[in-house]
Structure 1
Amino acid sequence: MMNMHKNTKIVLLLAVLVAGNMLLWTSNTMARKNDAFEQIGLLTALRRELVVSHVEEPDQDKMLRAAVEGMISSLGDPYTTYLFPEDMKQFDKHVGGSFSGIGAEVIIDETLKRVKIVSPLEESPAWKSGVLAGDIIYEIDGEDTEGLSIRDAVDRLTGPVGTDVTILVRRKTGEKETITITRAVINIQTVKGFSRDKDHHWDFMLDDINKVGYIRLTQFNKNSGPDMRAALEELKTQGAKAVILDLRFDPGGLLPTAIEVADMFLPGGKKIVSVKGRVVPEATEYSTDAGTVFDGEVIVLANESSASASEIVTGALHDNHRGKFVGTRTFGKGSVQQVRPLASGEGALKITNAYYYLPNGEKIHRVKDAETWGVNPDPGFYVAMQPKQITDMIKIRREGDVLNDENGAEKRKNITPDWIRDNLKDIQLAAGLQAAIGKINTGDWPKVGTDGSDDVRNAILMENLIRTRELLQERMMDIEKQIKKIEAGEPIEDDMSADAKAVKDTPDDANSEVKELAPAE
C-alpha cells in the first residue's frame, strides 16, 4: 500500500510538472503572438495616420515597398529579398535562363548603399566590356544608384538583347570609368581549356612535357558537371599527371554541381560540405568512389572573386589535403537562399536560411566584422595580384587564344612558368604550374608564394583605406552639389549623405583595425 501511495505521488508530481511546462510554453507562445500583434498594430496605426493626415497624398504602394524593404534591410543580408508579384516573372526568367543582360553578379554595398559587382561571368557582355570584380556602380544610364534596391538595379541592368546600358563605375583604385555594355542572352560555356586547336575545340593540356592539364570553370550550371568530366577523361587519355583547376572569378552557381565537381577529385567517404541554419538541421555531403575521375595531382587557383560554389570545391579539396590551393583568400559568399511563395499569393520571399560549412567546420560566409571567412591558401602558396596586374591579365585573356595559330603545338611544348609570367601576365597561373612541375619531378610541393600573414594584413589595411577614400569622395561630391546650388542661387541645407557621415566613424588610425583583424604573430 505504501508503494502504491508513493507511485501515486510520483505520477501526480509528473502531471504537475508537465502541466506547468505546458502552461509556460503556452504563455511564451501567447507572449510572442501578442508582441507580433502589437508590432503589426503599430505599422497599421502609423500607415493609417500617414494616409489620412499627411499634407501630401502618399503613394500607398510605394509605402508598402519601403516598409518591406526596410524590414529586410535591417537584417544586413544583401541576399535576402522580397519578390513582388511583378518581380516573380523576371525571377522565373532568370532561373529558366531565358533572360538577357550584362552577365554579372551584383549586390548592394552596405556602406556606400550602391550597386557592387561581385564578379562578371567570363565571356559575358560585362566581362568583354572591361567590368571588374569590386567595381562600384555609381550611375546606370545617367541615373544615380545611391539608395537603389537590388531589384531596381537588376531591372535597369537587364533588358532586350542588343540594347545598350551605360554604367559609371569606380574602380578599387578610385578611378572612375564610363562603360557601355550591349546586353545579350547569358548562355555561356563554363568549362574551358588553355587554348583552342585548329578546329576551335578547347585543348586542356597546358604543359605537354610535364603532362600538366588546365581546366577553367567560369560558373557552376547544370552542364558544368558533364563537361568537366569529359575534360578530365580527355586529359587522362593524354597521360596527364596533374591538373590545374582555375576557379578564379567564378561567382558560383548550383550546389549539386559543386558537389559533383569536388567528387571527381576525391576518394570515397570524404566530407565535401555541410549545410545548417538556425532552423535548418545539419546535412553533410560526402564523396563517393563512383564519382572519382582523376587521382593525379591537383592545383586549385582561386582568388577574392571566387564565390559560393567555387569556394565549396576549393575548400573541399583543400581541407581533404587533395593537392594545393594557390592564390588568395576567397570572397566569402557561403549562404543558402530559398524562395518561399507567400500563402497570400503576394509574391515570394528569397530568404537566407542556412550557411555552408567547410569540411574543417569553418563557415564560408563573410559577415560584418568577421576575422575569418572563405578559404585561405596554405602558407607558401599565397600569391596575390594587384588590380593593375589583374587588368593586364584579363585583357590578354579577353583578346583571344594567344596560341591559336599554325605554330600553336610548338609553342605549347615550350610553355614554362616564366613564359606565362612574361606573355600572359598571369603570376598565379605561373605559380600553379611551378607547383605542379615541382611535385611531379621531386615528389614534394615547392613553395611558390608567401605565407600570407603580411599580405592578409596589408589587404585588410588596403581595404580600410579604400573604403575611407570612397566615403571621403562621397562627401566631396556632396560638397560640390552644395557649391553648385549656392552658385545657382538655390536654397541649401546640410544634406550630407549618410554614407559621407560614416566617415566620422572611420578610425583615425586605419592600423588599429588591422591590429584587431590580422593573424597573431
Structure 2
Amino acid sequence: MARPYHRRVVRFTMFLASAAFVALLAPAVLAGMPQSTDDGARTVPPATEGAYRWLDPIIDLRALLVGSYVDPIDAPAMQRAAMEAMTKALGDPYTVYIPPADEGAFRRQLSGSYVGIGVELDLDDGRPIVITAIDGSPAMEAGILAGDTILSVDGKSTEGIGAATLESLLPGAPGTVAALVIRRADGNERTLNVPRRVVETPSVKGILRDADGWRFTIDPDRRVAYIRIAQFNDRTLAEVDAALARIRADGVSGIILDLRDNGGGSLTAAVGVVDRFISEGAIVSIRGRGDTGRTWDATSSPEDLHIPMVVLINQGSASASEVVAGALRDNGCAKIIGTRSYGKGSVQDVLQLPDGAGTVKITTARYYLPSGTSPHRAVGASRWGVEPDTGFRVPMTEQESIARAAARQLREAGGAVASPPVIWSSSASITRVAHDPQLAGAVDAIQGYLDMVEWPVVGDLSGDVGAGNDELRSSIEYRRRLLDELHKTDQAISTLRGGGAGVDDPILGNDASLIDGAVELRDRDGHVIGRWIVKDPSALRTGIGASAIPAPEYTPAREPEGK
C-alpha cells in the first residue's frame, strides 16, 4: 500500500544555454519565470507500492554493505553516489543532481557574477566541451574556443568527471590560476594557464567602442547597423531598445544581428528580441512529455518590419540564440549567415529536494521553432541546430577565429585602432584587418540587397552538407594527429627494444623520400588492387608500421601486361 505523504520542493524553470553544468549562469536564465513561492512549489508525488519495490534491492544492498563491509562505511557518500547515478542513468547531460555541499556554488552561478574563468560547457563522451567562452572573460582572453575539450584542470583529469566535481574545480579565489589542458576540434592539444577573476555577463554591443560609447553604424552611406548580443539576460531588452533608438535616429536601412558565440540565456529576452522585429506569428513553443506545451507569439508593432536583416551564427550560438535566429528566419524576417549553431533545445526545472537533500536539475521540455523543428542535437543525429541559408554558409578556420576574437576584444575595449584602420563598409577590409570573413559576408549580403533588391550569394552553396564537411575535415585532421602520436610511440618502442637509439622506421627506412611517391597494393596473387600518390608520409609510415610486417623474400605473380 502506498504511503500517503507528500513532500514539497522549491522549483524554478531554467532555459539553459549550457549543459549539465555551466561555469557561468545569469539570473536571466530563469526564462522570465520567478523563483517559486509556496504557491509555485511543486509537491513530490506520493510514493507508490511500485516505488517501494523498486527501492527494496537498494535498501537490501545498503544493509549488507553497512553490516558486512570490512571497513567503516561513509553512508552519506553512498547516498550521494546513488542519487548521482540515477540522473546519469538517463543519459542526459542536462539532468544532474547537485549535492548540498555544491549548492552554494550553484546558486552563486545563478547570480550572474562569479569568480572563475568564464566558459559555458557541455558533456561529450564523458568530457566537458566548450560551448562558448564568455565575452571579456579570462577564457576568451586565453584563446579558448567553442568546441575545445577540457582534458584536465589543475592536473586532474576530466574523464568521466561529474558535473558537481567540475563546478568545484573551475571557480576559485580571484587571482588564482586554472591550469587547463585542452584539445582543439582538430585534435591538437594545448596547455593554458587561465587566471580566475570576477566574470560578469555582458549583453548588447556595437561594432566598436570609443569615448562616446558603442558605435552601431557599420556603413553610414547605406545606413547599415550592427548589433551584437553576447548573452541574453535581464538587461538585454533595455539595451536592444536603446540601440534601436540610436540607429533609428540616425536612419537605418539594414541590420546585421550578430549572435556568434552567444551561449544563450533568458527565453524571455530571446522572445522579446524577436518581437522587436515581427508583428505576428509564432516565435517559439515548448513541449514536455504528455503536455500540450506553451507557445509564445508576436505581440508588438515594430517600426522596422521591412528592413532587411542578416543574423550571424556559429558553433558557439546555442539555446536562446537558436530561438532568435530560427524564429527570425522562419517568419521571413532575416537571412542566416555563418555556420551551423550548437544544437541546444531543452528546458530544465531546478528543484530543491526536501530536508536539505540537495538540488536536482531535470530536463522537462524541449523547445520548437515556428517551422515545427527542434534545434536540439540528439545522439546520432545528422541534422540539428540552425543552418545558414543556402549560399550564406561561411566557415572560419581556427586561426581566423582566434585572430577575430583578439581584434574584436581590442576594439570593444576601446583599445588602439588597428593599422591600417578597418573600413567597415568594405568586406575586403573586414576580412583583411578585422580577420572576420563571416562579418564580411554579412556586409556583402546587406549591401547587395540594398543595391539590387536581391540577396547575393556570399558563401558556399553546400548548406548542411557543408556543415557535415566541416566536421569531416576536423575528424580527418584529428585522425592524422593521432597517427602522428602512434608513429612516435612506435619509434619509442623500437628504441626501447633495441636498448639504444633504435631504428625509426624499420619497414620504410629513415631516408626514404615519400612525398608524392606512389603506393601500389597487390593481393596475394599479385593482382594490382590500386595505386595511390603519397601526400602524408607520417600517416603512411604509421599505418604500415601498425598493420604490416616486412614480407619474406618472394616474387609474386605479376599482373599480366595489358590489364
How far has the Cα of 1:477 moved from its partner? Answer: 12
Matches within 5 A, 1:408-427: 415-427=425-437
For residues 407 and 340 of structure 1, what CA distance do their matches in structure 2 show? 49
Structure 1 residues 137-157: Cα deviation after superposition (integer angstroms, max 9, x where no partner): 111111222221111111111
Q: Write the letter of the residue equivalent to 1:134.
A: G
Within the candidate set 280, 287, 291, 1:269 is matched to 280
Q: Write the letter of the residue equivalent to 1:39.
A: W
Unaligned stretches of 5+ residues in structure 1: 1-31, 484-521
Unaligned stretches of 5+ residues in structure 2: 1-46, 495-563
Aligned to 2:445: 435
For residues 354 and 325 of structure 1, what CA distance do their matches in structure 2 show? 26
Is residue 142 from structure 1 mapped to residue 142 from structure 2 by the alignment?
no
Within the candidate set 99, 114, 119, 1:104 is matched to 119
| Secondary structure of residue in 2 paired with 1:122 | coil
Matches within 5 A, 1:172-211: 172-199=185-212, 201-211=213-223
Q: CA RMSD in A?
A: 3.1
For residues 74 and 465 of structure 1, what CA distance do their matches in structure 2 show? 32
Within the candidate set 385, 389, 392, 1:374 is matched to 385
Is residue 120 from structure 1 mapped to residue 123 from structure 2 by the alignment?
no
For residues 142 and 306 of structure 1, what CA distance do their matches in structure 2 show? 30
Structure 1 residues 466-519: Cα deviation after superposition (integer angstroms, max 9, x where no partner): 776799999999999x99xxxxxxxxxxxxxxxxxxxxxxxxxxxxxxxxxxxx
| Secondary structure of residue in 2 paired with 1:166 | strand
Is 1:242–1:298's contact at 8 Å kept on the other side of the alignment?
A: yes
Structure 1 residues 379-416: Cα deviation after superposition (integer angstroms, max 9, x where no partner): 111111122221222222233359966899x9676630
Q: Write the letter of the residue equivalent to 2:269.
A: T
Is residue 341 from structure 1 mapped to residue 341 from structure 2 by the alignment?
no
How far has the Cα of 1:290 moved from its partner? Answer: 4.1
Q: Write the letter of the residue equivalent to 1:371.
A: S
Is 1:417–1:434's contact at 8 Å kept on the other side of the alignment?
A: yes
Aligned to 1:129: 142
Within the candidate set 164, 174, 186, 1:151 is matched to 164
Is 1:271–1:285's contact at 8 Å kept on the other side of the alignment?
A: yes
Aligned to 2:37: none
| Secondary structure of residue in 2 paired with 1:123 | coil
Q: Write the letter of the residue equivalent to 2:52.
A: F
For residues 312 and 479 of structure 1, what CA distance do their matches in structure 2 show? 49
| Secondary structure of residue in 1 paired with 2:191 | strand
Do the aligned partners of residues 52 and 336 (structure 1) sit closer, same or farther apart at CA in structure 2, a change above 3 Å counting? same
Do the aligned partners of residues 54 and 289 (structure 1) sit closer, same or farther apart at CA in structure 2, a change above 3 Å counting? same
For residues 33 and 122 of structure 1, what CA distance do their matches in structure 2 show? 48
- Taking structure 2 as the reference length, the TM-score comes to 0.74
Aligned to 2:545: none
Aligned to 1:510: none
Do the aligned partners of residues 174 and 463 (structure 1) sit closer, same or farther apart at CA in structure 2, a change above 3 Å counting? closer
Q: Write the letter of the residue equivalent to 1:125.
A: P
Is 1:392–1:425's contact at 8 Å kept on the other side of the alignment?
A: yes
Within the candidate set 443, 448, 459, 2:458 is matched to 448
**Which structure's residues are more often helix, by fraction?**
1
How far has the Cα of 1:329 moved from its partner? Answer: 1.2
Is 1:280–1:353's contact at 8 Å kept on the other side of the alignment?
A: no
Structure 1 residues 332-389: Cα deviation after superposition (integer angstroms, max 9, x where no partner): 0110011112234412211110001010000121110123211112211111112222
For residues 409 and 298 of structure 2, what CA distance do their matches in structure 1 show? 35
Q: Write the letter of the residue equivalent to 2:467.
A: V
Aligned to 2:83: 68
Aligned to 1:359: 370
Is 1:207–1:412's contact at 8 Å kept on the other side of the alignment?
A: no
Aligned to 1:397: 408
For residues 182 and 170 of structure 1, what CA distance do their matches in structure 2 show? 19
Do the aligned partners of residues 154 and 470 (structure 1) sit closer, same or farther apart at CA in structure 2, a change above 3 Å counting? farther
Do the aligned partners of residues 380 and 347 (structure 1) sit closer, same or farther apart at CA in structure 2, a change above 3 Å counting? same
| Secondary structure of residue in 2 paired with 1:361 | coil
Do the aligned partners of residues 423 and 67 (structure 1) sit closer, same or farther apart at CA in structure 2, a change above 3 Å counting? same
- Taking structure 1 as the reference length, the TM-score comes to 0.79
Do the aligned partners of residues 406 and 217 (structure 1) sit closer, same or farther apart at CA in structure 2, a change above 3 Å counting? closer
Higher relative contact order, structure no. (Cα contacts within 8 Å, ≥ 6 residues apart): 2
Is 1:301–1:327's contact at 8 Å kept on the other side of the alignment?
A: yes
How far has the Cα of 1:233 moved from its partner? Answer: 1.2
| Secondary structure of residue in 2 paired with 1:115 | strand
Is 2:312–2:337's contact at 8 Å kept on the other side of the alignment?
A: yes
How far has the Cα of 1:273 moved from its partner? Answer: 0.3
Between the two proteins, the alignment pairs up a number of residues equal to 448
My pick for the range that moved more, 365-374 or 309-318, is 365-374
For residues 475 and 404 of structure 1, what CA distance do their matches in structure 2 show? 45
Aligned to 1:94: 109
For residues 55 and 476 of structure 1, what CA distance do their matches in structure 2 show? 47
Is 1:208–1:412's contact at 8 Å kept on the other side of the alignment?
A: no
Q: Write the letter of the residue equivalent to 2:460.
A: T
How far has the Cα of 1:458 moved from its partner? Answer: 1.2
Structure 1 residues 259-285: Cα deviation after superposition (integer angstroms, max 9, x where no partner): 01111111x222100000104431000
